[in-house]
Structure 1
Amino acid sequence: MENILITGGTGNLGKTVVETLAESGYHLHLAVRKDVGDSAENVSFYPTDLADSKQADAFVHNILDTNAKIKAGVFLAGGFQPGNLAETSMEDITKMVNLNFATAFNVAHQLIAHFKTVGGGKLIFVGSKAAMDFKNAGSNFAYSLSKQLLYNFSDLINQSEANAGIASHILLPVTIDTVTNREAMPNADFSQWTDPAAIALTIQNILSGKESNAEIQF
Structure 2
Amino acid sequence: MDGKVIVVTGASGALGSVVVKAALAKGARVASLGQTAPAAAVANRIELGHVDLTDPIQAKKAMDAAHAHFGKLDALINVAGAFAFETVAEGDPKTWQRMFALNLTTALNASRSAIPYLAASPSGRIVNIGATGALQAGAGMGAYAASKAGVHRLTEALAAEWKGKITVNAVLPSIIDTATNRASMPDADFAKWVTPEELAGVILFLASDAASGITGALIPVPGRV
User: So what's the TM-score if we normalise by structure 2?
Assistant: 0.89
* C-alpha separation in 2, matches of 1:215 and 1:112: 20
Deviation at 1:207, TM superposition (A): 2.4
The answer to whether the 8 A contact 1:88-1:141 is kept is no
* C-alpha separation in 2, matches of 1:181 and 1:67: 35
Would you say 1:54 and 2:57 are equivalent positions?
A: yes
Q: Unaligned regions of 5+ residues in structure 2, if any?
A: none
Q: Which residue of 2 aligns with 1:4?
A: 6
Q: How does 1:94-173 map to 2 (within 5 A)?
A: 94-119=97-122, 121-134=124-137, 136=138, 138-163=139-164, 165-173=165-173
Instruction: Write 1 or 2 for the structure with the bigger share of helix.
Output: 1
* C-alpha separation in 1, matches of 2:120 and 2:195: 36
* C-alpha separation in 2, matches of 1:74 and 1:83: 28
Q: How does 1:1-218 map to 2 (within 5 A)?
A: 1-47=3-49, 48-66=51-69, 68-119=71-122, 121-134=124-137, 136=138, 138-163=139-164, 165-211=165-211, 212=214, 214-218=217-221
Aligned AA for 1:149? G
Deviation at 1:118, TM superposition (A): 3.8
For these two proteins, the number of residue pairs brought into alignment is 215
User: So what's the TM-score if we normalise by structure 1?
Assistant: 0.92
* C-alpha separation in 2, matches of 1:67 and 1:209: 19
Any idea what SS the aligned residue of 1:78 has? coil
* C-alpha separation in 1, matches of 2:36 and 2:77: 19
- For the aligned residue pairs, the C-alpha RMSD in angstroms reads 1.7
Deviation at 1:40, TM superposition (A): 4.2
Deviation at 1:80, TM superposition (A): 0.4
Output one character per residue of 1:99-129: Cα deviation in whole Å (capped at 9) or x when no partner: 1111111110011122234455110011110
Any idea what SS the aligned residue of 2:162 has? helix
Any idea what SS the aligned residue of 1:87 has? coil
Runs (4+) of structure 1 exceeding 6 A deviation are none
Q: 1:36 to 1:62 in 2, by over 3 A?
A: closer
The answer to whether the 8 A contact 1:5-1:73 is kept is yes
Deviation at 1:68, TM superposition (A): 1.6
Output one character per residue of 1:40-86: Cα deviation in whole Å (capped at 9) or x when no partner: 44221112111111111100111222352111000111110001211
Q: Unaligned regions of 5+ residues in structure 1, if any?
A: none
* C-alpha separation in 1, matches of 2:132 and 2:97: 21
Any idea what SS the aligned residue of 2:183 has? helix
* C-alpha separation in 1, matches of 2:114 and 2:40: 25
Any idea what SS the aligned residue of 1:142 has? helix
* C-alpha separation in 1, matches of 2:113 and 2:46: 19
The answer to whether the 8 A contact 1:174-1:193 is kept is yes
* C-alpha separation in 2, matches of 1:193 and 1:42: 32
